[in-house]
Amino acid sequence: MNGMAHKLAGTTKGPGDTPHEFIFISTDPENILKHGEYVWYAIEKNNKTQRVIARITERVDAHGYPDTFLSDPLIAPQDIAAIMGYPREQSTIYEISAAIMGYFDTDVGAFINPWIPPLPGSPVFFADSAMLAEALSRKRQNDIGSAWIGDLLTREPGDAPIIIDMTEITSSHLAVIASTGSGKSYLAGVLIEELMRPYNRASVLIIDPHGEYSTLQELTDLAEFRAAAEQQRTAYQPEVRIFKPAEVKVRLSTLEIGDLRYLLPDMTEKQQYLLEKGFKKMTADPRLKKKWTGRDLIQAISENAGGENERDDTSTVGALEWKIEARFIENTLTFDPVDHLDLRDIFKPGQCSVLPLHELDDRNQQVVAATLLRRAFRARERSVQKKEPTDGDQNLDYPIFILIEEAHHFAPAKADVISLRILKQILAEGRKFGMGIGLISQRPGKLDADVLSQCQTQCIMRIVNEVDQNAVAASVESVGHELLQNLPALSKGQVIISGAAVNTPVLCRVRKRVTKHGGASIDAPMNWVESFNARTAAEQRRNEATSAPPSNTMGIYRKRPTP
Amino acid sequence: MTLNNFADAYGNPVGVIVKSDSHIRYWAQIYNGNETVLPVEPQEYAFGRYVRVEYPNTAQRRQLIGIIYDSMLLNPSFGSLGPRLASDDSQRAIFSPDYLSERAVLIGIIAIGSMEYLANGEPSPDSIGKEQGAPSFAAELGAKVFPLTESEIYAFHFYGESSEAAPALHIAYISQLLSAPFGLLPQAALRILDQLEPMFPNYQRHLKIIRRNILWKQSIEPAR
């Protein structure tokens, strides 16, 4: 213990309802013992004094007034109590329940539960911000692999910064779950800013179905980053590459038969059979050198269908060909025989790439994501296993992190979507290959439960919908029931961070973004008013120009007097 | 001026302490016509009235303050059913005067504090001489009981906590009336509110709430 006087919070009354809870009594004159606030008590462990940190879970007024004292809004109950001889300054005594988190063992790097509540009558102290900042966060600010997400909610901004461990997030994945308008894209922006800081220089891809991450471009020219880089004596500026929708192309040969089946829905058994047969034949054809076109596929199918046993296939083949043509030949926006996104263009240390998918239809979005995830996963797999690429794609020699917006769209709960399988594989095996996934969703209830539970770090913001709350409670083990009860009460920009990247679940206020926020909703009434005013002004100008007499500035025509 | 006649000098006594049940519960006998020049009027010892009881042997000008919360009629010949010489009090005054003098009205007083008086007989204005709740000293047998005047009641209740504090209403003894196991005390509490309400117009809302609280406990809660 240092020589500083610790702030007393109260006196222990005794154990609480559960073995890891205790109750203490306080008059709390400064009103600081809020719900979610931290206190500590001392225990002796191996001849060392350890501070056991506990979080306040409940606060009950132990000396409540009778209801009749509260019956006149003009009269404070304290006044009546004072008349009746109860000293005004002692009018409230709180019985406060606290959940024991444990003392922080720096060797283990985790909280150790001592399994012993404080003795009745022993003092309970208010945990100061410096102590909390040290105990709650894994990393220190500006460390390699640190990310300053925000501050402890119960403290003043800047008092107790919450620093999460990027190493964990990029290997054991992240889920950001929140209702619309609770600030999840804002938080994602903060995360990206942290990933792109000089001490992280991550290789990040954002799969952005709404095209709301374009403001990240500002990252390339931030004085703050430049100064930090100069301090470290390196010239570092993060790159932000926002791909144009036209650049988002999928090379046809990277599609697998599963992708084809998904892209050509409602096929009959026979069509599926013919497609598979044709696909096999085509991919085995050495002349095509793994670069086939839609026409090659149609040709392979019709050649196959011409066999002796398949004389009546004309109409089936015709329908299949028509489907292939519509998807792969006419729709040249997404699929291309040769061009596709170069993995090394997308993934570079110190580069944040944004892949806007808002011009694609749902299925194409899912296939674009699936093919890209598959290629990236294989590239990382080969690099780690030190294998040469065989499919004409490149290897990636550094870990990568992929942030997926609207994740329920790529990994839905009750639908078989092509991107789900590869996502599951990456979430399960990505740790081995240095491939991290960040899922962002406002509908955890619609998100595949396995996928959600694979994300070891969770940032949970306000959720009001009960189905979604239950989905979170079911798949997020690290957050206690008591903390999840706060979900509907969280304000915008308040987040519960839990799991691998923090030492204990923590309520955090998201910090201010350095770059502008792009995901804000449109102010419709403002736009209407502006648009209306512009139109009326134009009309007025037109009227004035044509017929309005100069005296009539209001644009209202006087009735011509009748003769 | 001795303490005894100090008390006499400021108002007429209504009776004397004759018995106590505890440190705070006393019985006083009301003077009958033979003991005082002016007969004691029933409203002077009405239920719920504030009284003061002199402390004959203390050096300070301190008086015990109490409330009349009960009364009892004493009749020594109750149960003697034999024939009598006289049938009404005018005849009894002639034929059996001892019978009349043995009849008595007793009043129950609950002590709610004590108050110091200044040399001029006025109650002390600040908190120093005021004590609300069980008084430090018990009353003595034979001590005279006086009804409290309005200005005395006001002074007993309205004072500043300290010399700096603004004066405020204090009824710290009221919970004592409400928590005692004796059934008539809450009724007495309501009676004292009747007296205090017109005296403290600034506190009418507060007193109303206290009254409501007592009424609820008295009339509604038992019915639930």
Domains contained in chain A, CATH given: 8-127 (no CATH), 146-245+341-356+387-414+434-510 (3.40.50.300), 251-336 (no CATH)
Contacts of A127 (CB under 8 A, 6+ apart): A37, A38, A39, A40, A51, A53
Contacts of A74 in chain B (CB under 8 A): 205
Name the closest residue on chain A to residue B159, using Cα atoms.
Answer: A83
pLDDT of residue A91: 61
pLDDT of residue B9: 46
More confident residue, A180 or B68: B68
Q: A383-400: per-residue pLDDT in tens?
A: 999 888 776 678 889 999
Q: In what order do the strands lie in the sheet with A494-499?
A: A161-165, A146-152, A506-510, A494-499, A457-460, A174-177, A435-441, A400-404, A203-208, A351-356, A239-242
pLDDT of residue B7: 41
Least confident piece of the model among A314-318, A404-408, A431-435: A314-318
The b-or-e profile of A249-260 (16+ CB within 10 A means b, else e) is bbbbbbbeeebb
Name the closest residue on chain A to residue B174, using Cα atoms.
Answer: A84
| Residue A545 in contact with partner chain B when CB distance is under 8 A | no
Residue B6 in this model has a pLDDT that exceeds 50: no
Q: B90-107: per-residue pLDDT in tens?
A: 887 787 777 777 788 999
Contacts of B213 in chain A (CB under 8 A): 66, 68-69
Is there a contact between B209 and A80 if contact means CB atoms under 8 Å apart? yes
Q: A91-145: per-residue pLDDT in tens?
A: 678 999 999 989 988 788 788 888 888 999 999 999 998 888 888 888 888 888 8
Calpha distance A362→B35 (Å, rounded): 109
Residue B207 in this model has a pLDDT that exceeds 90: yes
Tell me the torsion sign for CA atoms B207, B209, B214, B218: positive
Strand, helix or coil at A261? helix
Tell me the torsion sign for CA atoms A357, A458, A173, A146: positive
Q: A219-233: per-residue pLDDT in tens?
A: 777 777 777 767 777
Calpha distance B4→A471 (Å, rounded): 84
Q: Return the ∠ at Cα A378 (arms to A375 and A379), rounded to 5°.
A: 85
Provide the pairing of β-strand A250-251 with A457-460.
Answer: unpaired
pLDDT of residue A293: 84
More confident residue, A75 or B86: A75
Name the closest residue on chain B to residue A66, using Cα atoms.
Answer: B213
- Both structure tokens of A449: 């439960």
Is there a contact between A79 and B206 if contact means CB atoms under 8 Å apart? yes
| Residue A84 in contact with partner chain B when CB distance is under 8 A | yes
Query: A500 to chain B nearest CA, in Å?
Result: 55
Calpha distance A361→A412 (Å, rounded): 16
- Count of CB contacts below 8 A, A vs B? 41
Query: Which among B206, B214, B215, B224 is the top mutation candidate for probing chain A, defined by the most A β-carbons within 10 Å of its own β-carbon?
Result: B206
Contacts of B203 in chain A (CB under 8 A): 83
pLDDT of residue A561: 53
Q: What share of chain B is helix, strand, coil (3-state, %, to 5)?
A: 35, 25, 40
For residue A53, what are the β-bridge partners? Answer: A40, A102
pLDDT of residue B25: 94
Residues 33-72 (A) with a CB less than 8 A from some CB of B: 66, 68-69, 71-72
DSSP assignment string, A154-168: TS-TTTSEEEEEHHH
Which has the closest alpha carbon to B26: B137, B180, B138? Answer: B138
Is there a contact between B209 and A84 if contact means CB atoms under 8 Å apart? no
Is there a contact between A84 and B210 if contact means CB atoms under 8 Å apart? yes
B12, B146 Cβ separation under 8 angstroms: yes
Tell me the torsion sign for CA atoms B161, B164, B165, B166: positive
Query: A62 to chain B nearest CA, in Å?
Result: 19
Mean pLDDT, all residues of chain A: 84
| A12: number of Cβ within 10 Å | 19
Is there a contact between B173 and A85 if contact means CB atoms under 8 Å apart? yes
Strand, helix or coil at B161? coil
More confident residue, A416 or B96: A416
The winner for highest mean pLDDT among A3-12, A474-483, B132-141 is B132-141
Contacts of B37 (CB under 8 A, 6+ apart): none
Provide the pairing of β-strand A94-105 with A48-61.
Answer: antiparallel
Of B169, B172, B205, the CB nearest to A75: B205
Q: A135-188: per-residue pLDDT in tens?
A: 888 888 888 888 899 999 888 888 889 999 888 888 899 999 988 888 888 898
| Residue A222 in contact with partner chain B when CB distance is under 8 A | no
A11, A94 Cβ separation under 8 angstroms: no
pLDDT of residue A46: 81
Contacts of B174 in chain A (CB under 8 A): 84-85
Phi, psi of A60 (to 5 degrees): -120, 135
A103, A111 Cβ separation under 8 angstroms: yes
pLDDT of residue A65: 85
Residue A213 in this model has a pLDDT that exceeds 70: yes
Is there a contact between B172 and A85 if contact means CB atoms under 8 Å apart? yes
Is there a contact between A69 and B205 if contact means CB atoms under 8 Å apart? no
pLDDT of residue A463: 87
Please give, one letter per residue, the 3-state secondary structure of A36-76: CCEEEEEEEECCEEEEEEEEEEEEEECCCCCHHHHCCCCCC
Q: Determine the distance from the C-alpha atom of residue A152 to the mean position of all C-alpha atoms in its chain, rounded to a whole number.
A: 19
